[in-house]
Amino acid sequence: VPTATLPDPAAVREEMLKIYPSKTLKKRSKQMLVNDPSAPPEIGANTRTVPGIITQRGCTYAGCRGVVIGPIHDILHITHGPIGCGYYSWLTRRNLAQQRPDQPINFLQYAMSTDMMESEIIFGGEKKLAAAIREAYEIFKPKAIAVYATCPVGLIGDDIHSVCREAKKELGINVFGFSCEGYKGVSQSAGHHIANNGVFKHMVGLLDEPDPEPFRINVLGEYNIGGDAWAIDTLLKKCGIHVTATLSGDVTYDQICKCHTADLNVVMCHRSINYMAEMMETKYGVPWIKVNFIGAEQSAKSLRKIAAYFQDKQLTDRVEEVIAQEMAELRPVIADVKTRCEGKTAAMFVGGSRAHHYQHLFKDIGMLTVAAGYEFAHRDDYEGRDVLPSIKIDADSRNIEELEVEADPEKFQARKTPEQLAALEAGGFSFKDYEGMMREMRKETLIIDDISHHEIEKLIELYKPDIIGSGIKDKFVIEKFGVPCKQLHSYDYGGPYAAFTGAANFYKEVDRMINTKVWQLVTPSWKKPADPAHTFGRG
């Protein structure tokens, strides 16, 4: 991409900021930066959105129930609250699970809620919750039930945890609650933290039955959107690497209960699950490494890293064989797509990890990301792990209790001997080498945290990107400007995009989206003569 043709990012930033009143301007200034990969500047991430700004963020309940725990498909999820939260989170995130012979019903299709009414808001909803748990148990006989508190529950002070404890005693199954009221944090990120704590406390470690296969790993922070976890699983299987559990994509309760028996945790989405990786290491001795199966080069690098960890010649050879095979199939696709996509530009504003990961897929086909940002990530996701001590004081972490975790004297098991660790280190292997987004991005890229609709409009006007990766809340705003928008949350119902096979799907879809002539037919409404019936809004 001839970067000389790109606008000056500092000038774009000024242009975006100039309409804000002074207090908002001050705040937003810290959340918009021009990148320097050699010394990432400090970003004002994970702070409260200014009221009135149109944000893409979600709430704590969404992060807990919707994102991290929702995909566990053989337990019941009961939302305690008025019906809205349960109803509007029903099947919106693409939590895919395969039907299994031992479990004919896929519980993910249900929306279960206590449907609190005015009387419960006034007199308390604990009795109704206890009755709902009992009723749900009678109908479905699940292995476990999880209860999620919504905003009003926290406000009136229902004690969901004691209701769950009672139900656990009465029914003889695992019942546990999450105080994930939507207002708890500044975004869904707080919900991840609450979810991790609960999963760790109530599930991990309950089943001491290691899978018999060698090279056992858990894939943490992989949620099987569009079948990504299946694509990764297939690739790992080809190499002879076994997945004990994917947290949380197409995963069962038992898999989570025994995931502490794995040899290694590999972390895809650091933002949503770093807490779990750290806690499992402390309590059970499972080390973790960061991986990324989005993008061909990144997938190869991740496989090599896993093989390097196991220090096994046969596995290393097999991994190289698989990479060679997969790349032989992928190369012609890349070459073909590149003829039409090379030199095009992308911008990405997504969640807490994909804005980073997907840049690699665009890079594979010769495209450049000119601007990027997360919705709710923290400083370490932008700047790298080095900032960890200081992120402890960020907005979400202040509100959420850290679990006190210590090594379990019976279950802790060091996965490597000191000699093996020394050999790994001598070979240049490093654990926890999490670099964050900024170090892996071109100098002068514009970084925008928690982007607003106003800023997206300015970005389109000044950068004219060929494609934007984003979510449902702004997809159609973007497309009305004549710019294709690829949803990087739901994949617009496509996918998988992970691993080599998924990468091929992504390249072809981006090619189709960018190169279709349909965008030339779009005339945005503000370019047409004013309609006297709609005189308000954009003039």
Q: Which residues are known to be catalytic? A: 59, 62, 93, 192
Q: Residue 472 or residue 518: which is nearer to ligand HCA going by CB?
A: 472
Q: How far is CA 291 from CA 172, 224, 268, 431, 455, in A?
A: 39, 15, 5, 11, 31
Comparison of 94 and 458: residue with beta carbon closer to ligand HCA: 94
Q: How far is C-alpha 419 from the chain's CA centre?
A: 36
- Residue 115, SS3? coil
In the bound state with ligand HCA, the residue whose beta carbon lies nearer, of 471 and 495, is: 471
How many whole angstroms separate alpha carbon 160 and alpha carbon 198? Answer: 13
**Least distance CB 403 / ligand HCA (angstroms):** 24
Q: How far is the CB of 469 from ligand HCA (least distance, A)?
A: 11
Binder of ligand CFM out of 188, 302, 345, 505 (CB under 6 A): 188
* Residues between 4 and 63 with contacts to ligand CFM, criterion CB under 6 A: 63
In DSSP terms, which residues pair with 539 in a beta bridge? none
Lookup: tokens for 485: 């928008």
Q: Which residues contact 480 (CB under 8 A, 6 or more apart)?
A: 522, 524, 525
Residue 271 makes contact with ligand CFM by CB under 6 A: yes
Tokens at 140, concatenated? 């479905």
Q: Which does 352 bind (CB under 5 to 8 A by kind): ligand HCA, ligand CFM, none?
A: ligand CFM
> Is 267 a binder of ligand CFM (CB under 6 A)?
no
Q: Given the rule CB under 6 A, which residues bind ligand HCA? A: 56, 58, 62, 66, 92-93, 188, 351, 471-473, 487, 489-490
Compare residues 142 and 502 and give the one whose CB is closer to ligand CFM.
502
Residue of 80, 141, 136, 64 lying closest to 113 (CA atoms): 80
Quick note: the x/- pattern for ligand CFM over 90-119, rule CB under 6 A, is ---x--------------------------
Sole binder of ligand CFM in the list 64, 133, 217, 269 (CB under 6 A): 269
> Which distant-in-sequence residues (6+ apart) come within 8 Å of 211 by Cβ?
242, 244, 258, 261
Q: For ligand CFM, what does the binding mask look like between residues 453 and 492, x meaning CB under 6 A?
A: ------------------------------------x---
Q: Pick between residue 259 and residue 478 the one whose CB is nearest to ligand HCA.
A: 478
Q: Answer yes or no: are the C-beta atoms of 321 and 313 closer than 8 Å.
A: no
- Per CB under 6 A, 369 contacts ligand CFM: no
3-class secondary structure, 371: strand
Write out the binding residues for ligand CFM, residues 343-362 only, by CB under 6 A. 350-354
- Tokens linked to 281: 């290491």
Residues near 523 by Cβ (< 8 Å), separated by ≥ 6? none
Minimum separation from the CB atom of position 249 to ligand CFM (A): 8
Position 67 contacts ligand CFM (CB under 6 A)? yes
Placement of tokens 């010649």 in the chain: 313
CA–CA distance, 476 with 179 (Å, rounded to integer): 34
Q: Which is nearer to ligand CFM, 71 or 142 (CB)?
A: 71
Q: Find out whether 358 and 488 touch, Cβ atoms under 8 Å.
A: yes
Residue of closest CB approach to ligand HCA: 471
467 binds, among ligand HCA, ligand CFM, none (CB under 5 to 8 A by kind): none
Structure tokens at 29: 């200034």
472 binds, among ligand CFM, ligand HCA, none (CB under 5 to 8 A by kind): ligand HCA
Cβ atoms of residues 453 and 474 within 8 Å: yes
* Cα–Cα–Cα angle for 488, 461, 365, rounded to 5 degrees: 45
In whole angstroms, what is the distance from residue 129 CA to residue 139 CA? 15
Please report whether residue 184 would count as binding ligand CFM according to CB under 6 A: no
Instruction: Choose the one of ligand CFM, ligand HCA, none that binds residue 272, judging by a C-beta under 5 to 8 angstroms depending on kind.
Output: ligand CFM
Min separation Cβ 353 and ligand CFM, Å: 4
- The partner residues of 72 in beta bridges, in order of sequence, read 251
Q: Work out how close the CB of 316 gets to ligand HCA at its nearest, in angstroms, rounded to a whole number.
A: 35
Nearest residue by C-beta to ligand CFM?
351
Which of 225, 243, 307, 504 contacts ligand CFM by CB under 6 A? 225
Contact partner, 481, from ligand HCA, ligand CFM, none, Cβ < 5-8 Å per class: none
Among the listed residues 176, 178, 223, 275, the single contact to ligand CFM using CB under 6 A: 223
Of residues 351 and 465, the one with the C-beta less far from ligand HCA: 351
Q: What is the smallest separation between the CB atom of 367 and ligand HCA, expressed in angstroms?
A: 22
Task: Concatenate the DSSP letters of all residues of 174-228 into one string.
Answer: EEEEE---GGGSSSTHHHHHHHHHHHHHHTTTS-----SSSSEEEEET---GGGH
Q: Is 414 exposed, middle or buried (0-12, 13-18, 19+ CB in 10 A)?
A: exposed
* Residue 210 backbone dihedrals phi, psi, to 5 degrees: -60, 145
Note the residues at the interface with ligand CFM (CB under 6 A).
Answer: 63, 67, 93, 188, 221, 223, 225, 269, 271-272, 350-354, 489
